[in-house]
Amino acid sequence: MPPPRRAARRRDAEENRARVVAAARELFAEEGFEVPLDAIARRAGVGRATLYRNFPDRGALAAEIFDGNLRELEAQAAALGERADALLELLRAIVDMQVEAHAMVPALLQEPRAPDLAALERRVRRLLAAPLRRAKAAGQVREDLAIGDVTTGLAMIAAVTGDTTVAARRRRARRALELLLYGLLPRGESDTSD
């Protein structure tokens, strides 16, 4: 067991890191990915050295945000368990996260420490696979719906959420999700479109 002072320093370091990530998440959403890192340090209430000790550049910071988002989604999926509405709840959570992270994705393609977006998509696919199977079995979504259709729909929603404010992006993203979900519903007997 570490001495009490070392444990307290470690706890302080973890809290500082969490504050930096929270501040970056907020400022990236509000002002864009190019927000000065000094502004993130100020919002977090830490010095520049603390920020750079934890995150050498904005790509590393964004990678931590994306990984944290996925950990949150994985925890939410576990908490939802076998609930029939798990797919819908997870899609709503993903769309909310997309609204917050919208400015990061295009900019990340230029960053040397950018998260592996393909690996992140694989995690999302794994996360949604069981809820999608349950939603199909419950008749909540179309039988022919594939996981790739769901991730394509999420990408489409991300593409239309370029409004300038978080609130405007959230409204547009939620409306886009409603439209997407309508297309995912099982087809009724009177539906003749094929």
Per-residue pLDDT, 194: 45
- Please spell the DSSP secondary structure of the chain, one letter per residue: ---HHHHHHHHHHHHHHHHHHHHHHHHHHHH-TT--HHHHHHHHT--HHHHHHH-SSHHHHHHHHHHHHHHHHHHHHHHHTT-TTHHHHHHHHHHHHHHHHTTHHHHHTT-TT---HHHHHHHHHHHHHHHHHHHHHTTSS-TT--HHHHHHHHHHHHHT---SSHHHHHHHHHHHHHHHHHHHSPPPTT----
Domains 1-55 and 58-184 agree in fold:
no
Q: Where are the domains of the chain?
A: 1-55, 58-184
Q: Which fold has domain 58-184?
A: Tetracycline Repressor; domain 2 (1.10.357)
Ordered per-residue pLDDT tens for the chain, 194 residues: 556 777 777 888 899 999 999 999 999 888 888 899 999 999 999 999 999 999 998 888 888 998 899 999 999 999 999 998 999 999 999 988 888 887 777 666 666 666 677 788 899 999 999 999 999 999 989 888 899 989 888 888 877 776 667 788 788 888 888 887 777 778 763 344 44
The structure's pTM equals: 0.77
Residue for token pair 């706890």: 11
Q: Which fold has domain 1-55?
A: Arc Repressor Mutant, subunit A (1.10.10)
Per-residue pLDDT, 191: 45
Per-residue pLDDT, 188: 65
